[in-house]
Amino acid sequence: MADIHTRIDGQIGRITLTRPKALNALSYEMCLEIEKALDAWATDDAVKMVLLDAEGERAFCAGGDIAAMYEAGTKGEYEIARTFWRDEYRMNAKLFNFPKPVASLMQGFTMGGGVGIGCHGSHRVVGESSQIAMPETGIGLIPDVGGTLILARAPGRIGEYLGATGGRIGPADAIHAGFADYFVPEEKWAALTAELAQTGDWEAIDRAAEKSPDGVLAGQQDEIDTLFAGDGLTDVLNALNGADSDFAAKALKTLTRVSPLSAGCTIELVHRARATDEIKKALEQEFRFTYRSMDMGDFLEGVRAQIIDKDRTPTWKHGSPAEVTSLEITQMLLPLGDDALKI
C-alpha cells in the first residue's frame, strides 16, 4: 500500500513508513500491514532480523491517525476506535515478543503510536534529530501501545513524570529513560541499513553506535524521584505545590493543562505496569482506559481542541487535577469482562 512498504531486503525484513507529509502517522491499515509482515517473517529462515524505518526527515512516526476515530466518536460510533486499538495493541505485542532481532531507526518525532512500533524492539536507534514523547494526556488519553510498560521500566519515577506531563525528550534522554538503546549519527544510517540488508548482522548496530549528546533527565533524576514518588496524582500535586524549584513549577503548570483524568489514570497505570512487568498485562490495562475514553473520558474534547479546531483550549471533565477522585480513576480502569483485550 502507498503509506507503508514491507518487503524482504537482502537478509532482513524491512518495514518503511511512507507518509512523510503526514509525519508517518499510523493508520489502521498500516497497523494491519505491519502485523501481516511480522506473521510472515517470524518463521521465515530467509529473514535474519527486522528493520523499521521511515521516509522524510521530520518524523519516524508522530502517532496514530486519529481523525477517523474522532469523526466516528462524535457520532457515537465508538467501536471504530476500539477496533483500531484492539488490533494495534495486538500488533504491538507481536513486535515486543518477536523471536528475532528488531531494529528501528527513529529520526525526528516518535510519539504515541510511533513509540508502539519503534520502541519495543531489541535495537532501538536514535540520532541527532530524535524527539520521543508519549503526549497522550494532552488529548485525553493515556500512554498506550505498551507505553506504560516502557515508562514503568524507566529509572526511578521518570515514567510517572514523562507519562503524566507528556514530556518530549531528545536522544540522550531517550536512552536514559529506556525508549532507545543506541545513538548513531544520522549520516551513517544509510550505510548501516545497507550493511544490515547485506549481512543480517545486527551487531553492526553496536559497532556503529557512538556516545550521544548530553541530556537533562539524569541531572533531574533525584528531584523527579522525590516529586513523583506518591501513590497517586493527589500526592504528586501536593509534592509539586510544596516544592520551590523551577522544575516543580514547570511540571505543575504542565499538569494543569493536560486532561486531569488522563494524568491520574496514567500514574496508576504506570504503577500497575511496574508491578506486573508484562507487555500483555500493560496492554490489557491500557485498553480498559482507551475503551472508555470517548464516552467516559476526555478524548473527543482533547482531539477537538488540539487537532481539529486547534484552539488549544479544551474543556476537560474536571476543572483541575485536584478534582479527580480515586473512585473515578478506578472506574476508568475496571475490567471489561467480555470486551477485554485478548492477545
144 is catalytic: yes
Nine-digit cell string for 104: 528501528
Residue 132 contacts residue 180 (beta carbons within 8 Å)? yes
Active-site residue identified among 63, 113, 118, 264: 113
339 is catalytic: no
136 is catalytic: yes
Active-site residue identified among 144, 173, 181, 284: 144
Order of strands across the sheet that contains 182-183: 4-9, 12-17, 49-54, 102-106, 123-126, 182-183
Q: What is the enclosing helix (H) or strand (E) of 154? A: none
- List of E strands, the chain: 4-9, 12-17, 49-54, 59-61, 102-106, 109-111, 123-126, 131-133, 182-183
Q: In the 8-state DSSP scheme, what is residue 128?
A: T
Which residue in the block uniquely carries the three cell numbers 525484513?
A: 13
Active-site residue identified among 64, 118, 138, 166: 64
User: Phi and psi at residue 245, in whole multiples of 5°?
Assistant: -150, 155
Order of strands across the sheet that contains 109-111: 59-61, 109-111, 131-133
113 is catalytic: yes
Catalytic residues: 64, 113, 136, 144
